[in-house]
Structure 1
Amino acid sequence: MPAPVIAFVGRSDSGKTTLLEKIIPELKSRGYRVATIKHVPGHLVEPAEERDTTRHLAAGSNTSVINSPEKLIFVKKQSSESTLLNIAWSLDEDFDIILAEGFKNSPVPKILVHRLEAGSPPESLNRVVAVVSDESVALDVRRFGLEDVSAIADFLVETVINPSRSRVDLRVNGERVALSNYPAEIIAAVMETMAKTLKGVAGVKDLEFRLKKP
């Protein structure tokens, strides 16, 4: 079950990375578990430690893993870019929030980061819920300054983290299915009731069920 995802979008040099570098420790200091996903246009320039994985992949491996005392890195072949939500689903650990940088065409909520020096903000963005900017932007959403880190963190807690404390996610054939409140409540109630009838299950805080057919 993926954590809630919100994307920080904007032009190059608008300050997205710098802002995230401030928001991540702010959320961590409040006890929240944070994951990040960055979109990189074009081809990645591999660090030296990943070059051997390229040789493994070229030899036929579909996935290669680097394990060291400091890092665990998975490198996986793909014929096209994964969607942001599919990447979020692939994260195994239980995070409170996933902060994405880029992915302006994704269906997730977005925070527009804008600086006057970076030029005009991108147009035709969907699901913009807030703007972080050093000048006025013609969007009727919450507005923050580039240094309003604590207030932005408050906004993320109130609008992203807290509402997702209890959630139901459904994915069919790899695609996430949007659920309104009623079917989500029905599915949750049925699955929780069934789980509680099983021997050894004292209570249910998190439940994951997967069905894979040939």
Structure 2
Amino acid sequence: MRSWLEERGGLPPFLCITAARSGTGKTTLLEQLINKFTARGYRLAVIKHHHGHLPPDQPGKDTWRYRQAGAAWSVLAAAGGLVWHYDSHREGAGPYPIDPVRLVAALAALDPGLELVLLEGYKRHAGLPGVEVMRPEITGTARPVTPAGRLLAVVADGLPAAAVPVFGWGRLDELVDYLVERLGLKGRNTGC
């Protein structure tokens, strides 16, 4: 019997949106990409990496009690969505206590209709393809910080020094066309 992964032919494509530092427009770019991909009919998910500590589960609540009893995960499911609690300190993990590829796999298992997963951050995670937002006037650098082997494109005003295609903020439809091809997404009638 074949696994769900084999039946689907693998995970949905995933793409990191990175920048040299905060305040350069990653969230703005993600909002626009989400809008453009969903307008074309793609079903997608977004995972945001947060560098700090998340607010802890509330002591005394059921999900907190489950984790105190030894569960690695506790999931609160309701009509409004899911909240996952995971105790990464127990695992002794590094800067990415939950591997983003495993998160993509979990999302794909929960929603086999996902066609794309966008990740904000994870710029230091090896192997994840990325698009970098560059604003030299904010970051002080005109070169991408994303390793060359994973960088698919740059979004910037002006023409930074990049060995990949550069798309201005006014050319995001062209960026989406490029990403559809590079990520191997099934073509859609754009309706535009």
TM-score with structure 2 setting the length = 0.74
Structure 1 residues 135, 105: closer, same or farther in 2, change over 3 A? Answer: same
Number of the residue aligned with 1:103: 122
Contact 1:114 1:132 survives alignment (8 Å): yes
What is the deviation of 1:130? Answer: 0.4
Aligned equivalents of 1:157, 1:40: Cα separation in 2: 27
Number of the residue aligned with 1:44: 54
Q: How does 1:106-125 map to 2 (within 5 A)?
A: 106=125, 107-119=127-139, 120=141, 123=145, 125=147
| Structure 1: unaligned runs, 5 residues or longer | 164-214
Structure 1 residues 31, 123: closer, same or farther in 2, change over 3 A? Answer: closer
Aligned equivalents of 2:146, 2:131: Cα separation in 1: 14
What is the deviation of 1:124? Answer: 5.9
Of the two structures, which has the highest relative contact order with CA contacts closer than 8 Å and spacing of 6 or more?
2
What is the deviation of 1:122? Answer: 5.2
Aligned equivalents of 2:146, 2:29: Cα separation in 1: 22
Aligned sequence identity (%): 32
Structure 1 residues 122, 155: closer, same or farther in 2, change over 3 A? Answer: closer
What amino acid is the match of 1:96?
E
What is the deviation of 1:161? Answer: 3.7
1:144 equivalent to 2:167? Answer yes
Number of the residue aligned with 1:135: 158
Contact 1:97 1:161 survives alignment (8 Å): no
Larger radius of gyration between Structure 1 and Structure 2 = 1
The count of corresponding residues between Structure 1 and Structure 2 is 161
Contact 1:116 1:134 survives alignment (8 Å): no
